[in-house]
Structure 1
Amino acid sequence: MPSHTSDHSPWRIFFAFLRLGLTSFGGPVAHLGYFRQEFVIRRQWLSERGYADLVALCQFLPGPASSQVGMALGFSRAGYAGALAAWAGFTLPSALALILLAQGVAHHGERIPSGLLHGLKVVAVAVVAQAVWGMARSLCPDRLRITLMAAAACLVLLLPSAAGQAAVIVLAGLVGLVCCRVPRDGTHEPLPIAIGHRAGLLWLSAFLALLLGLPILAALLPWHALQIVDAFYRAGALVFGGGHVVLPLLQAAVVPSGWVAQDVFLAGYGAVQAVPGPLFTFAAFLGASMPEPYSGWLGGMLCLLAIFAPSFLLVAGVLPFWEGLRRSRHTQAALAGVNAAVVGLLLAALYQPVWTGAIGQAPDFGLALSAFVALVFWKWSPWLVVVASASTAWLLDAAGLMG
């Protein structure tokens, strides 16, 4: 069992993730970069290899990978209370902001200055580049794994889908199993997961029971709240790739049914790009935008809990078995290949959509390069780089030098 001292306190975990929840702009790939900087480099909660293992695991699971990595980190520090603290700290800032937007300005269009929003996209380039830089140096130390990293990046760009990503990870694991050699006394540091195998099976059973049972209950019982929970739970349970991939599922669930108007949906989609934290908090905006009685704060929190519940159940259910598997030499060899592929996935994401969505002209490149130098060589805090980059882009846009 983890000791509840210092960084093992759920409150300390909550405030650590709250800082990231207030400052981690840029989407799920950038979030993984922020997590790495905070918990691997700064706090040293786990090793580079252990972090990459968690990222690889959460890439396999449906749902928001960055949020699931956060939950797993919370589990490793303080059990269930730590997982909930990590989720709440990382998720609530953007969820609360989006509920306020839904109640206030959602029907009046986007009010965030375009230059400020563009600056947040540009700084995400620097954050992801920093993650690729650091993880490649640690996890791709030889020609084989460098080649795997490059091949994974190329394949993912050629097969831009969640299924393509999963196939690349599986293929890299097979290559690692056959070709990678890991030392018998490797540097792997197991996470202190306070979840037993029996508890893991119970959580996985609960995940499947809700996934199969909620549609049946929603069809038998004409309760609006049950229909909402069913729709958002399925969206969180069945989407692979996370982030933007969930948006079509949510649109199909809430717009044709008349729960949320199309123009409100699009306004919320624009707003969610300008807030930190996980993109899945868009569910809070949609819930707050629904008709009475499930609207406002009640609807927002109901939809937020429903869409994240599958992630919690999956992480709690899979982690106990993952810990046992990854201690074997064969699993470690496969993970060596998977870890190289994870770096390749980040490298591909650095190009598409992060670079292509943010870098369109010389000032964009200059701002991204400056942010990268500040992060990697000057060791500035990520939140400070975010604020400085967004403010600079805002000023350049106001002066007519960016746009």
Structure 2
Amino acid sequence: MDEAAGISAAAPARARRHPGTALEVFRTFLRLGLTSFGGPVAHLGYFREDIVVRRKWLGERAYADLVGLCQFLPGPASSQVGMAIGLQRAGFAGMLAAWAAFTLPSAVLLVAFGYAVVALGDLGSAGWIQGLKAAAVAVVAQAVLGMAKNLTPDARRATIAVGAMIGALLLPTALAQVAVIVAAGLVGLLWLPEAPSAATAPTEDEGSLVIRVPRPLAIACLATFLALLIALPIAAQATGDGTLRLGAIFFRAGALVFGGGHVVLPLLQAQLVPSGLVTHTDFLAGYGAAQAVPGPLFTFSAFLGTVATRSPAGIPGAIVALLAIFLPAALLVVGALPFWAGLRHSPVAQRALRGVNAGVVGLLAAALYTPVFTSGITSVRALAIAVAAFVALTMWKAPPWAVVIVAGAAGLLLL
């Protein structure tokens, strides 16, 4: 493969002869951003149906390879897949178009909700807010069970998950949660057996299309990622600047979260709530609202930036939070593309990743208890709403956005 080559992407000859435009990518992903409910796994299904089956921008194996890369990286997997598809289709302008179109619909809705929360003041006793908080318990519980089934299917990984949960509960700080993730990766590396070999990537004679990222650019992106991860907190502490502080919090959350949007909850909660930047009530109300909108759950950051105190709030805070939480994803996608083909076949990397994934399950289980359950279940009626929402999600396969809306209405009537 060419030194500048990134990931192989099987596609029809037509797509190779007639590359798309950023406007075409924007229109495609705007439709997805307006209709993709249900979380990152569901988003990847929507992408496959639209991009692979309907538009044939990529082949099945190429799409699976892109998904594998983005599952390996920290950050919002569905957004990263969208970025990579946009990059493949229309270059870096296409990458930006895919991200903006998929992200902005839910971000705009959550900013509007944030302004409503600010205008109405303390909503802690409002019945509909209590209903949203109860629904958040059901949504996170469903995520814990689903991830546990897929990521901790054996005794060793289940043990890693339980250890991570205990560590997160005993040491409820952002630094401790990062340490838990690192420790889970090390335990996985040393304790877990090797996984079956990954399937080989498509070859050139299968009509592959290579996403080309020059290695110097990839290395520059990775260096920028590391530099910002280290420098932003230092600069924020040295200057006391609220914008830098907010940017550092959300950049770190976007940089260190494996496993999708739900897992960002404990990192953000530990950074924003104890410091007083966001109240418990507002945090859980926004998290509940985030379930009722389409698009990536990381747009929850736009709500948090809107309602933040002692830092830029409103639209400026939303912009800072939104850009900061997604920037690591973009830098890592571009930085990893030239190196993924070799890394994805490394047994060492695979063992560490499986340990990290088990640790993520433990972190999410800890977050399910606190703050989600402890703040969301304050009465027998709230528990009844949460249980009903959980049954609707898991047994009746109701979409999360519908469950959240109904739970909010039930809270208005009952709480």
Same fold (TM > 0.5): yes
Normalised to the residue count of structure 1, the TM-score between the two structures is 0.67
The equivalent of 1:281 in structure 2 is 302
Contact 1:76/1:194 (<8 A) preserved: no
Task: Specify every segment of 5 or more residues in structure 2 that has no aligned partner in the other structure, as ranges.
Answer: 1-7, 53-59, 203-209, 257-265, 291-296
Higher mean Cα deviation, 79-88 or 36-45?
36-45
Residue among 180, 187, 191 paired with 1:175: 187
The equivalent of 2:81 in structure 1 is 73
CA positional deviation for 1:342: 1.3
Distance 1:325 1:100, change over 3 A: same
Q: Distance in 2 between the 1:131 and 1:266 partners?
A: 21
Residues 354-373 of structure 1: matches in 2 within 5 Å? Answer: 354-373=372-391
Is 1:85 the counterpart of 2:98? The answer is: yes
Deviation per CA, 1:55-107, whole angstroms, max 9, x where unpaired? 6742xxxxxx5xx43431322433353565345533543445536865x8845
Higher mean Cα deviation, 274-283 or 68-77?
274-283
Q: Distance in 1 between the 2:353 and 2:150 partners?
A: 14
CA positional deviation for 1:329: 0.9
Residues 284-323 of structure 1: matches in 2 within 5 Å? Answer: 285=306, 299=316, 303=320, 307-308=324-325, 310-320=327-337, 321=339
Contact 2:132/2:285 (<8 A) preserved: no
The equivalent of 2:353 in structure 1 is 335
- Identity among equivalent positions (%) equals 30
Contact 1:99/1:288 (<8 A) preserved: no
Amino acid at match of 2:132: L
CA positional deviation for 1:193: 7.0
The equivalent of 1:122 in structure 2 is 134
CA positional deviation for 1:366: 2.0
Q: Distance in 2 between the 1:105 and 1:145 partners?
A: 41
Is 1:39 the counterpart of 2:44? The answer is: yes
CA positional deviation for 1:245: 4.5
Distance 1:316 1:363, change over 3 A: same
Q: Distance in 2 between the 1:50 and 1:155 partners?
A: 33
CA positional deviation for 1:396: 1.0
Residue among 268, 273, 277 paired with 1:243: 268
The equivalent of 2:148 in structure 1 is 136
Distance 1:194 1:99, change over 3 A: farther
The equivalent of 2:367 in structure 1 is 349
Contact 2:70/2:333 (<8 A) preserved: no
Q: Distance in 1 between the 2:170 and 2:340 partners?
A: 30
Distance 1:376 1:162, change over 3 A: same
Q: Distance in 1 between the 2:113 and 2:154 partners?
A: 50
Deviation per CA, 1:215-254, whole angstroms, max 9, x where unpaired? 99xx9xxxxxxx88656544544566653355379978xx
Q: Distance in 2 between the 1:100 and 1:390 partners?
A: 14
Distance 1:302 1:38, change over 3 A: closer
Amino acid at match of 1:311: P
Contact 1:289/1:296 (<8 A) preserved: no
Deviation per CA, 1:264-303, whole angstroms, max 9, x where unpaired? x99987975674253421475379999xxx9986x46754
Q: Distance in 2 between the 1:387 and 1:201 partners?
A: 45
The equivalent of 1:13 in structure 2 is 29
Contact 1:54/1:72 (<8 A) preserved: yes
Q: Distance in 2 between the 1:353 and 1:51 partners?
A: 31
Amino acid at match of 1:281: A
Q: Distance in 1 between the 2:196 and 2:287 partners?
A: 46
Distance 1:349 1:112, change over 3 A: closer
The equivalent of 2:172 in structure 1 is 160
Q: Distance in 1 between the 2:65 and 2:147 partners?
A: 9
Deviation per CA, 1:289-344, whole angstroms, max 9, x where unpaired? 99xxx9986x4675456545643554345433566434301111122222211111
Task: Tell me how large the CA RMSD over aligned residues is.
Answer: 4.7
Amino acid at match of 2:336: L
Q: Distance in 1 between the 2:380 and 2:200 partners?
A: 42
The equivalent of 1:257 in structure 2 is none
Q: How many matched pairs?
A: 351
Q: Distance in 1 between the 2:108 and 2:281 partners?
A: 15
Q: Distance in 1 between the 2:195 and 2:284 partners?
A: 49
